[in-house]
Structure 1
Amino acid sequence: MLGLVGESGCGKSAILRCVAGLYQDWTGEIALAGAQVGREIDRARSRLVQMVFQDPFGSLHPPRVLLLDEPTSALNVSVQAEILNLRSDLRQKEGLTSLMVTHDLGVVVHLRDRVAVRLQGEIVETRGASDLATAGLAHPYSKRLVDSSRRMSHV
């Protein structure tokens, strides 16, 4: 899983919509399962990719790639854990890949995969999620995000 974090308005959710084919006005390249995809939704992509908004139980019917837009933001801690454990189980049993947009760095660290940090419309750093816990980050904005998250968890 790749967790995509960054400031509000930097385009995290827009990336999910581009990958899902819901937004066609983008530049760059998107590859799924090693193949470049176009801007239009086609049958193959709709079978491969599913967008999961903030109602994860209501929309989770796993294809090979899940696009998760803040799926745990409105949930209490115990339900968050259920969703994260379900995602981990699906990854192990089904080989599921996911891209999750979140403001919660704790969620990304819990999943122990990769994180991309986005700032002002650009990805400024990509690391293993364990680097968040061990301060193995290079970009100043990434370091500020982690420091801020640590301060908030102590409040």
Structure 2
Amino acid sequence: MIKAETPPPSTRAGVRVGPWELREVIGVGGMGEVWSATRGDGMYEGRAAVKLLRLAHDRSGIAGLLNARFAREGELLARLTHPHIAQLLDAGVTAEDTRYLVLEFVQGQRIDHWCDARRLSVKARLRLLLQVCEAGAFAHANLIVHRDL
């Protein structure tokens, strides 16, 4: 059985992860959570997105594989520079042995909601989809597969 070593998201607001202070949950997935965060030391202005790996240890070894995959994700993201891919800003491991990645915060909403709100034509939607495909192709060329697209 895999054991979560971190508190539920609702109790983490205000907690520090490295130099980053967690503000609010902006996403939850199978492997972890994404929080909006800020730095209080003046080294980075504005918000960032902190991705926390939820699972740290288990007896079956699955968590070890997830930790390795998450660490590899950070290594690969550090090499990517593309206008449609959020930049990796920082990465580390908390005192509680929870891995984290800090990425550029991109304010937005789901692409289908954005398109619907603007009543975009099919042609305009396809132009947006091409930008998504360009970013995906760039990531694939750098040995990254995004499983959530």
How does the TM-score come out when normalised to structure 1? Answer: 0.27
Structure with the bigger RCO (C-alpha within 8 Å, sep 6+) is 1
Structure with greater proportional strand content: 2
How does the TM-score come out when normalised to structure 2? Answer: 0.28
Structure with greater proportional helix content: 1
